[in-house]
Amino acid sequence: MSQPTPPDEPTRPQLQSAAATFALLSAPTRLHVVWLLARHEYDVGTLADRIGTTVAAVSQHLAKLRLAGLVAARRDGRRQIYAVEDPHVLTLVEQIFEHIAPDGTLAPDPPTPRHPNRPMHDQVKD
């Protein structure tokens, strides 16, 4: 018999959706596309040039990102212009790159208060 999910714990559908989003962003090229589109709108050719890959490859990545709702597109004449408009995705991308140093290691965390739910025995006593 399964126990009910506490109100602050994620539901199975939430966990599945979050895992699918992380899986989608686990491809370096897609993550680069999202990072670029979180800062500026671009067409597929400009994205391919910025990333250093083919238009066809970027188009495939954009199709997956659009299908997942992470990237939006609008028509500008004959071109499609892409952007990330979801503030949650913007925050996610911003925070992961604040956490990763340019050399790929984890960046040192700024001093912050301890986690409010961490037991007191984990804290150093005087």
User: What's the DSSP call for residue 103?
Assistant: T
Q: pLDDT value at position 126?
A: 42
Residues 23, 66: Cα–Cα separation, whole Å: 15
Which residues of the chain, if any, have pLDDT below 50? 123-126
pTM for this entry? 0.78
Element (H, E) at 72: strand 72-76
- Residue 2's pLDDT is 66
| Per-residue pLDDT reduced to its tens digit, 74-99 | 999 999 999 998 999 999 999 999 89
60 CA to centre of own chain: 18
- pLDDT for 114 equals 62
